[in-house]
Structure 1
Amino acid sequence: MDVESPFQIALLHDIFGNPFHPVSLDPSWLTSTVVALAEGIYQGRTFDRMPILADALQDAGCDNDDILTHCRDVGSHVRGCWVVDLILGKG
């Protein structure tokens, strides 16, 4: 395995999530706070704010471990992150 492989795997996971375990988003989780945070993260590429998005989602009633764990993952996130795109309807 070369040096780039772990980075590429993490990048693919950030963009596509787990294709064998699709995640659905409950519309009730899309509070104005959640949407504003996701939009700010997307536009400003401020992916260091993903844990704040996780907290806002949890406050809105989200109990999906895949979503919350991904947001709190200290790995790198990029524009195209599946959680942000899911919230913003870009997926």
Structure 2
Amino acid sequence: MDGTVDDLTSAYDELIETTMDILEARAVSGGQKMANIDAALVAFREQWETFQVVCDLMEDMVEQARCHIGLELLVDVATDARQRGPLDQRLLP
């Protein structure tokens, strides 16, 4: 899990860096369209796609953890129910 979190953090940091590159390229160009801006935009798009892939992987990991926790809870509830007896007996005072 730590590796996935590190990957997400790294992808985010790189996305921010490429965003800064775009802003710097625009500042240097004085608002005119130049090759360095186009290159920065291409790099940003690639980094954005990488970031989306890492986010999807993180989402899958969270979903797997949620399912695992749900199964553990189900087993705990079922085990507890067997120890206490049928539901009707547990509801009676």
How high is the TM-score relative to the length of structure 1?
A: 0.29
Q: State the structure with bigger RCO (CA 8 A, min sep 6), 1 or 2.
A: 1
| Higher gyration radius (CA) | 2
Higher helix share: 2
- The normalised TM-score by structure 2 is 0.29
